[in-house]
């Protein structure tokens, strides 16, 4: 487990999407977040007090969380002195980067000398098995998306919460570094060896005979040429009866790929269904979840109404409308036994 409370790293990041792991903790584990570590001229804030590592330690922080995205998941040179300072101040360090903390000799040596923990959330679990696609019992709903970072984790957490609030047991199954940090468990699926993607998804949501829903966090997009392999393996391994499509209407093109257009929601639904049916022959969509934070409220409401009318599925914004329309559809289509 990750020792909280946390100091959240932002550094010099200027794109809000680049701090999405720090932001996820600030949103879903707010009580565990003491402050944010950011450069003086950094325009991005999570609304937490800005403080340095010593101040955070004095206020009770136990971990510095490198909750940011970097190119290829590598540690940036500017981060290293901050990590060393955190270790010196008495903090453990938690990272969601692909590059493991101990791969940097200065960090490894300092942590060993001081007896601090280095926790890599993306360290792949051992003893994974290759997936089989064999039919298994249980109720599973997977969030998928038109792109990465469009709200699949937010939608999944809100959907699990809404199901539980309506009296139907559900558990959030995390597949990304942010989700794993929030839930305290899960598998960072983009970090497993490629042969084991679907097997990791099968292990994350094993067969179960009760009526509990596993709400599985999706990753990437079948239309994102960087990560579609992860998305497809997760889709096959999750073997979901129900799917929710997530979409950010403000995205001008696929994230970081100006040459790639964002796919049409209907086309993305069709492609996900075609692929899902390899292991879940009757898979169906039970809703669409948009991230309307980049729109005026009236424009978001208009968009939701238009999507519902065009696609014949409930459309929600987890923050603005809540998840009830999707919960109703899910429970109507898949009543308890």
Burial letters 184-200, b for 16+ CB under 10 A, else e:
eebbbbbbbeeebbbbb
Give me the 28-47 binding string for a second copy, x by CB under 8 A, dash otherwise: --------------------
Looking at the Cβ atoms of 43 and 225, the one nearer to a second copy is 225
3-state secondary structure of 34: strand
- Does residue number 24 form part of the binding site for a second copy (CB under 8 A)? no
- Does residue number 96 form part of the binding site for a second copy (CB under 8 A)? no
- How many residues belong to the site for a second copy (CB under 8 A)? 46
Instruction: Provide the minimum distance between the beta carbon of 280 and a second copy in the complex, in angstroms, as a whole number.
Output: 10
Looking at the Cβ atoms of 1 and 137, the one nearer to a second copy is 137
Considering only residues 147 to 206 of the shown chain, the ones binding a second copy according to CB under 8 A are 189-195, 197-199
- Out of 90, 125, 133, 322, the residue judged to bind a second copy by CB under 8 A: 133
End-to-end CA distance of the chain: 35
Residue linked to tokens 């097997």:
199
Looking at the Cβ atoms of 67 and 287, the one nearer to a second copy is 67
- Does residue number 278 form part of the binding site for a second copy (CB under 8 A)? yes
Looking at the Cβ atoms of 30 and 274, the one nearer to a second copy is 274
Give me the 100-129 binding string for a second copy, x by CB under 8 A, dash otherwise: ------------------------x---xx
Token pair of 218, please? 């999706």
Q: Is the peptide bond before 49 cis (omega within 30 degrees of 0)?
A: no
Looking at the Cβ atoms of 26 and 232, the one nearer to a second copy is 232
Token pair of 169, please? 């047991």
Looking at the Cβ atoms of 113 and 132, the one nearer to a second copy is 132
Q: 184 in the Ramachandran plot: left (φ > 0), alpha (ψ -120 to 50) or beta?
A: left
Give the separation between CA 21 and CA 304, rounded to whole angstroms.
27
3-state secondary structure of 20: helix
Stretch that binds a second copy, among 44-52, 107-115, 256-264, 296-304 (CB under 8 A): 256-264
Looking at the Cβ atoms of 274 and 306, the one nearer to a second copy is 274
Upper half-sphere CA count for residue 196 (Cβ side, 13 Å): 16
Considering only residues 292 to 321 of the shown chain, the ones binding a second copy according to CB under 8 A are none
Residue 30: partners with Cβ closer than 8 Å, 6 or more residues away: none
Burial letters 234-244, b for 16+ CB under 10 A, else e:
bbbbbbbbbbb
Eight-state DSSP code of residue 326: H
Q: Which residues bind a second copy (CB under 8 A)?
A: 71-73, 98, 124, 128-135, 189-195, 197-199, 222-223, 225-234, 236-237, 256-257, 259-260, 271, 274-275, 278-279
């Amino acid at each position: 487990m990750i020792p909280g409370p946390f100091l959240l790293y932002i550094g010099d990041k200027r794109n809000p999407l680049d701090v999405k792991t720090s932001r996820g903790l600030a949103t879903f584990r707010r009580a565990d977040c003491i402050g944010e570590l950011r450069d003086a001229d950094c325009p991005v804030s999570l609304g937490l007090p800005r403080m340095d590592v010593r101040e955070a330690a004095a206020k009770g922080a136990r971990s510095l969380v490198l909750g940011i995205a970097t190119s290829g998941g590598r540690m940036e040179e500017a981060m290293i002195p901050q990590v060393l300072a955190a270790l010196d101040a008495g903090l453990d360090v938690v990272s969601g980067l692909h590059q493991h903390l101990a791969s940097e000799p200065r960090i490894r040596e300092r942590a060993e000398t001081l007896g601090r923990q280095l926790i890599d959330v993306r360290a792949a679990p051992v003893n994974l098995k290759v997936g089989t696609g064999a039919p298994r019992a249980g109720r599973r709903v997977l969030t998928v998306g038109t792109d990465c970072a469009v709200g699949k984790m937010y939608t999944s957490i809100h959907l699990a919460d809404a199901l539980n609030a309506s009296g139907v047991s559900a558990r959030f199954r995390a597949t990304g570094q942010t989700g794993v940090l929030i839930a305290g468990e899960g598998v960072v699926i983009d970090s497993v060896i490629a042969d084991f993607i679907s097997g990791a998804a099968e292990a994350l949501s094993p067969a179960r005979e009760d009526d509990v829903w596993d709400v599985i966090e999706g990753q990437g997009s079948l239309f994102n040429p960087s990560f579609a392999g992860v998305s497809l393996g997760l889709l096959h391994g999750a073997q979901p009866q129900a799917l929710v499509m997530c979409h950010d209407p403000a995205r001008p093109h696929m994230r970081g790929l100006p040459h790639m257009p964002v796919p049409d929601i209907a086309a993305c639904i069709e492609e996900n269904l075609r692929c899902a049916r390899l292991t879940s022959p009757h898979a169906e969509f039970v809703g669409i979840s948009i991230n309307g934070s980049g729109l005026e409220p009236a424009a978001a409401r208009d968009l939701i109404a238009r999507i519902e009318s065009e696609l014949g599925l409930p459309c929600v914004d987890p923050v603005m409308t809540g998840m009830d329309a999707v919960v109703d559809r899910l429970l109507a289509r898949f009543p308890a036994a």
